Amino acid sequence: MRWLSQILCVFLLLGCVESAADDFCSQVRCDDGNDCTEDLCDTNDPWVCSFRAAPMNTPCNGGGVCDSAGGCVECTADEQCRDDYNECTRARCQDGGCGLEPVSDGAACSGGACRAGQCALSSLVVPCTEQGIRNAIAAGGGAYSIDCEGPTRVITGAEIVIDKDVFFGGDGLLTIDGGGDHPVLSVLEGKTVWLDGISVTGGFANGSCGGLSNAGKLLLTDTAVLGNEATSGGGGICNSGTLMMFKTTVMTNRAQACAGVFNNGTLTVESSTLSANVATSGGGGVCSSVMLTVSRSTVFGNFAERAGGVENSGTLILSNSTLSGNTSKGPGGGLWNSGVGTVTNTTLSGNAAGGDGRAISNVGALVIENSLVDGDCNSDGDAISSHGYNIESAGDTCGFDHETDQVEVQAKDLRLKPLEVNGGPTITHALLPGSVAVDRIPDASCELDLDQRGVARPQGAMCDIGAFELREGGR
């Protein structure tokens, strides 16, 4: 009979042994592909597999639980249902699925009372808590004031999704923190949102958009986005809609690319600062593929493999701004442009690159006027066009060939002070009296009525080159 047993084993592709049935079962694979059954080989009849139901609440299918009858369901108890962060609903598990039911009307909620499953706010002042913030967003409209008695950090349990038109402010006291676990805020497409006096920090995305993402219309004023991280693009901010930043700071964010701001929409940066953001590939401070307007702002101390400060592959308008102390391991310490750009009354100084282009690396179409470039350019052919009144120090690499341009200017003749507070919302490089940049641009060619700080141009007989206009008396 031994030969018959061996033939049968080969035929069944089970593999056979000549020892006891329990040794045989160690070589038999019983698996019905169901997480909610226990796969067993019958030691009394080793040709038979049995599949009895796994214990209730055994994890299954990467998120469900077993129901003790061999089925994988969403839940077996209310507490297994996810929190929807709504005080006016209660999670219920019914027939293996999670649902919500409203709590009784009149029950207290943060800032008001429940009505038909929503928190009806009693005023435009809401508690300085995660639930208070969520309730203000859910109610929509505004302007809501978040009632923080002092500086308050609210660590959120999950990303806050803004799905209503809303305006709310934190009076400079509120910090919303993702706790290093999830993105902090997102604005959905078609929504109009204004955030004022709020800090966004501690966001993390395993992908793009660590801190804040916008697909709608978003205005940020007196806001800070700092200390967020993404494994892909947009450590601080992602924008695919319309975003305006006014008196806003984007700082110490990290990402593979576009560490500060990742723009695929329309972005306006005014009177703002982008600083100390780090990208392991391109775009330390900001990178943009569509429309980027930067005015009266400072981009400094950012780092990337390419384009330490600003990377543009779309359309760029850069005016009355300072790009300083940015670093690229490759080209483009201050600015890397492969799109179409104009640079007006801007100061680039102290930027660093692994090769040429410490100040500017350009492979697109770039027009520069009334600007001070302290550092070299790396340009593809004649792609940089000078409209006059530009300075390059200390060489002649930018192609400034207008009769009013000054090239090969020595650093001592720039008389450029270090980056510091000189008035206005952002730090700047002040000019000292006697600088070759002072009183160089005729009034008719000044282009801009104010400097980066908001000081009127001209202060002397003519306007000054760069972002800073020297007042009489040397300030």
Taking alpha carbons only, the member of 175, 233, 185 closest to residue 208 is: 233
pLDDT band at 225 (very low <50, low <70, confident <90, very high): very high
Indicate the burial class of 227 (C-beta count within 10 angstroms; 0-12, 13-18, 19 or more).
buried
Q: Given a cut of 60, is residue 17 above it in pLDDT? A: no
pLDDT at site 305: 93
Contact 99, 92 (CB under 8 A): yes
Question: pTM for this structure?
Answer: 0.86
Contact 306, 334 (CB under 8 A): no
pLDDT at site 182: 98
Contact 307, 283 (CB under 8 A): yes
pLDDT band at 22 (very low <50, low <70, confident <90, very high): low
What span, in angstroms and rounded, lies between the C-alpha atoms of 223 and 173?
A: 11
Length of the chain, please?
475
pLDDT band at 5 (very low <50, low <70, confident <90, very high): very low
Average pLDDT, whole number, for the chain?
92
What contacts 13, CB < 8 A, 6 or more positions away?
none
pLDDT at site 15: 43
Q: Given a cut of 80, is residue 365 above it in pLDDT? A: yes
pLDDT tens column, 380-432: 766 899 999 999 999 999 999 999 999 999 999 999 999 999 999 999 999 99
pLDDT tens column, 69-101: 999 999 999 999 988 889 999 999 999 999 999
Tokens of 329: 């391991």
pLDDT at site 46: 60
pLDDT at site 3: 41
What span, in angstroms and rounded, lies between the C-alpha atoms of 363 and 321?
A: 22
pLDDT tens column, 116-154: 999 999 999 999 999 999 999 999 998 999 999 999 999
Q: Given a cut of 90, is residue 27 above it in pLDDT? A: no
pLDDT at site 12: 44
What contacts 279, CB < 8 A, 6 or more positions away?
235, 254, 255, 256, 257, 258, 259, 302, 303, 304, 305
What contacts 350, CB < 8 A, 6 or more positions away?
324, 325, 374, 375, 419
Write phi, then psi, for 248 (nearest 5 degrees): -120, 145
CA 325 to chain centre: 21
